[in-house]
């Protein structure tokens, strides 16, 4: 799971904040950089093809490797190809081509996320899922360190093209892991089959005589049933829960689009940014995540979820102070520490929350829906971040990013007051 987490985390920054830094370093305008963040919307719409990955094996590869591993291997090859393509482009003359390759990388990465999430839950019994998630997150964070600080160091010593080519080669970690691991066993329980059968009958597809009827029945089982299951289990609060998922990361992800351009515009070198925001920030994130896990175990999921929401808003306001004061490395280190600590804490609480909502029978599809909703609004809002900075400056932008966290805070308070989701 550490190696699979590494493979999942490696492409993310390379089409997000690291790409923003490359483009800014090449003299690309902030507004254009902001629009590039829309490439990440691919992660937010992966629930559209998650049912296909959840139920269908790939031809040829699926027979040899199994459903999960075959999709995983294909996705990893697509990522490596896309990163190599980006490495061969010039951002000053080939922005459109870079955007196309970045979109390919994001699509492959989102597909890989779907398959790894499904593998993680299916490979081990429920009592080991905490350990599986913890090791996955650790590998993911190591990959963020490599794709963040590692790419900055390589760009400083060689070039951005060299850095992206090296990242393409590092996808070999995921490829080798996929070839070594075993395909997990997965069977549909009787209760799930009963739900699917009842939905087929309700839609007049119980007999499934023609190919068209069989295809329609498959779509009902793979696409409709996971959503019906979720709304049946959560009742009236289902929409509130989905709104919370959609808004919880809104502030954090929107701020992240302009973070690296902000550090560069303050006058910090790429090496200084790598030292403080990537390496030092990495350890603070791990500490925050560990702290979040301990607090969730002690107090349940709701109170840590609320605390994480408050911390995200507060740390955005710390960036307002950084934008209006003299740029000092010590100040940057303190604020980055607070930001990464709170981000790790909030992420740990949020993963626990999402895990509590997922039905094991529809893990891949439901988890893809939750994680897509988690990032879709934030990616859309992040696309306008460059326009906000150009129009109002960094200080007002960070204040605006902090205010985007208020809806999630109010939704958590509503859910807690309703006491609708029992805590352990």
Q: In the predicted model, is pLDDT for residue 363 greater than 80?
A: no
The DSSP code for 422 is: -
So what's the pLDDT on residue 296?
A: 78
**What distances in angstroms separate CA 147 from CA 21, 144, 157, 171, one per listed residue?**
12, 5, 15, 11
State pLDDT tens for residues 403-418.
888 999 999 998 888 7
So what's the pLDDT on residue 278?
A: 65
The DSSP code for 183 is: P
Lowest mean pLDDT across 185-189, 251-255, 407-411 = 185-189
Residue 116 burial class via C-beta count within 10 angstroms: exposed 0-12, middle 13-18, buried 19 and up = buried
Helix (H) or strand (E) holding 171: none
Shared domain check, 236 and 126: no
Shared domain check, 241 and 116: no
Shared domain check, 256 and 142: no
For the residues 368-390, what does the mean pLDDT come to? 78
For the residues 355-374, what does the mean pLDDT come to? 78
Shared domain check, 367 and 232: yes
Shared domain check, 243 and 120: no
Q: Output the six-digit token pair for 106.
A: 């994001």
Summarize the chain as % helix, strand, coil (round to 5). Answer: 85, 0, 15
Say what percent of the chain tops pLDDT 90. 20
Shared domain check, 299 and 245: yes
The DSSP code for 384 is: T
Shared domain check, 237 and 176: no
Degrees to nearest 5, angle at CA 44 with 39 and 50: 120
**Residue 217 belongs to a domain:** no
For the residues 179-193, what does the mean pLDDT come to? 81
Shared domain check, 281 and 159: no
Shared domain check, 53 and 131: yes
Do 143 and 110 form a contact (C-beta atoms < 8 A)?
A: no
* pTM for this model (two decimals): 0.73
CA dihedral 308, 310, 311, 317 (to 10 degrees): 150
**Residue 378 belongs to a domain:** yes
SS3 state of residue 379:
helix
So what's the pLDDT on residue 421?
A: 47
Residue 34 CA to residue 41 CA, distance in Å, equals 13
Q: Pick from 186, 216, 238: which residue ends a domain?
A: 186
Q: What is the CATH number of the domain that holds 368?
A: 1.20.1250.20
The sign one gets for the Cα dihedral 350, 150, 394, 36 is: negative
Do 266 and 413 form a contact (C-beta atoms < 8 A)?
A: no
**Residue 140 belongs to a domain:** yes
Most confident of 24-33, 43-52, 174-183, 196-205: 174-183
Per the structure, the count of domains in the chain is 2
Query: Pick the residue with more confidence: 126 or 5?
Result: 5
**What distances in angstroms separate CA 21 from CA 24, 102, 333, 345, one per listed residue?**
5, 14, 19, 26
Q: CA 316: distance to chain centroid?
A: 20
209 band by pLDDT with thresholds 50, 70 and 90: low
Q: Pick from 186, 208, 238: which residue ends a domain?
A: 186
For the residues 214-226, what does the mean pLDDT come to? 80
**Residue 424 belongs to a domain:** no
**Residue 352 belongs to a domain:** yes
Q: Please name the residues in contact with 237: beta carbons below 8 A apart, sequence gap of 6 or more.
A: 415, 418, 420, 421
Query: Pick the residue with more confidence: 339 or 166?
Result: 166
Q: Please name the residues in contact with 53: beta carbons below 8 A apart, sequence gap of 6 or more.
A: 71, 111, 114, 115, 118, 364
Range of the domain at 5: 1-186
State pLDDT tens for residues 396-405.
888 888 888 8
Shared domain check, 289 and 380: yes
Residue 24 CA to residue 31 CA, distance in Å, equals 11
State pLDDT tens for residues 57-76.
888 887 888 888 999 999 99
**Residue 201 belongs to a domain:** no
For the residues 332-357, what does the mean pLDDT come to? 83
Q: Please name the residues in contact with 376: beta carbons below 8 A apart, sequence gap of 6 or more.
A: 41, 44, 45, 246
423 band by pLDDT with thresholds 50, 70 and 90: very low
Q: Output the six-digit token pair for 285.
A: 């994130």
Residue 208 CA to residue 214 CA, distance in Å, equals 5
Residue 235 CA to residue 230 CA, distance in Å, equals 8
Q: Phi and psi at residue 187, in whole multiples of 5°?
A: -125, 150
SS3 state of residue 324:
coil
Average pLDDT for the chain: 83
So what's the pLDDT on residue 253?
A: 81
**Residue 208 belongs to a domain:** no
So what's the pLDDT on residue 31?
A: 79
Nearest to 370 by CA among 254, 228, 244: 244
For the residues 281-292, what does the mean pLDDT come to? 81
For the residues 227-248, what does the mean pLDDT come to? 87
Do 237 and 415 form a contact (C-beta atoms < 8 A)?
A: yes
Do 115 and 95 form a contact (C-beta atoms < 8 A)?
A: no
For the residues 210-222, what does the mean pLDDT come to? 78
For the residues 119-142, what does the mean pLDDT come to? 75
Shared domain check, 240 and 133: no
Each as own residue / partner, the long-range contacts of residues 229-238 (CB below 8 Å, 24 or more positions apart, any chain) are: 229/192, 229/195, 229/359, 229/361, 229/362, 229/366, 230/357, 230/359, 230/366, 230/369, 233/359, 234/357, 234/420, 237/415, 237/418, 237/420, 237/421
Q: Pick from 161, 186, 211: which residue ends a domain?
A: 186
**Residue 215 belongs to a domain:** no
Residue 53 CA to residue 68 CA, distance in Å, equals 8
**Widest Cα–Cα separation across the chain:** 73
- DSSP assignment of 27-52, as one string? T--HHHHHHHGGGGHHHHTGGGTHHH
For the residues 309-319, what does the mean pLDDT come to? 89
State pLDDT tens for residues 9-57.
999 989 888 888 888 888 888 878 877 778 877 887 888 888 888 878 8
Shared domain check, 253 and 172: no
Residue 26 CA to residue 23 CA, distance in Å, equals 5
């Amino acid at each position: 799971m550490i190696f699979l987490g590494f493979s999942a985390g490696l492409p993310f920054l390379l089409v997000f904040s690291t790409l923003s830094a490359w483009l800014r370093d090449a003299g690309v305008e902030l507004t254009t950089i902001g629009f590039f963040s829309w490439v990440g919307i691919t992660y937010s719409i992966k629930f559209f093809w998650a049912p296909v990955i959840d139920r269908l094996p790939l031809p040829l590869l699926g027979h040899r490797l199994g459903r999960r591993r075959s999709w995983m291997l294909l996705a990893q090859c697509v990522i490596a190809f896309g990163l190599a393509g980006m490495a061969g482009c010039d951002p000053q003359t080939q922005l459109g081509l870079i955007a196309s390759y970045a979109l390919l990388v994001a699509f492959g990465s989102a597909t890989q996320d779907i398959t790894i999430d499904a593998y993680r839950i299916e490979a081990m019994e429920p009592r080991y899922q905490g350990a599986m998630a913890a090791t996955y997150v650790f590998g993911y964070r190591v990959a963020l360190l490599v794709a963040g600080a590692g790419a900055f160091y390589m760009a400083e010593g060689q070039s951005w093209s060299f850095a992206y080519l090296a990242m393409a080669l590092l996808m070999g970690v995921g490829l080798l892991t996929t070839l070594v691991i075993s395909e997990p066993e997965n069977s549909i329980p009787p209760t799930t089959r009963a739900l699917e059968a009842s939905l087929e009958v309700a839609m007049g597809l119980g007999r499934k005589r023609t190919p068209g009827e069989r295809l329609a029945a498959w779509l009902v089982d793979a696409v409709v049933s996971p959503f019906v299951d979720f709304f049946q289990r959560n009742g009236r609060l289902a929409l509130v829960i989905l709104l919370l998922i959609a808004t919880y990361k809104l502030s954090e992800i929107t701020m992240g689009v302009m973070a690296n351009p902000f550090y560069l515009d303050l006058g910090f070198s790429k090496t200084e940014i790598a030292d403080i925001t990537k390496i030092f920030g990495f350890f603070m994130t791990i500490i925050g995540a560990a702290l979040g896990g301990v607090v969730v175990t002690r107090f349940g999921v709701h109170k840590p979820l609320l605390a994480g929401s408050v911390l995200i808003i507060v740390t955005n306001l710390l960036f307002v102070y950084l934008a209006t004061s003299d740029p000092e490395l010590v100040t940057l280190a303190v604020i980055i520490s607070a930001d990464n600590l709170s981000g790790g804490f909030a992420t740990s609480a949020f993963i626990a929350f999402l895990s509590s909502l997922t039905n094991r029978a529809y893990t891949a599809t439901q988890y893809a829906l939750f994680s897509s909703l988690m990032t879709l609004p934030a990616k859309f809002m992040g696309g306008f971040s460059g326009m906000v900075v150009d129009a109002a400056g960094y200080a007002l932008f960070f204040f605006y990013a902090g205010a985007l966290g208020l809806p999630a805070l109010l939704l958590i308070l509503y859910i807690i007051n309703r006491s609708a989701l029992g805590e352990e």
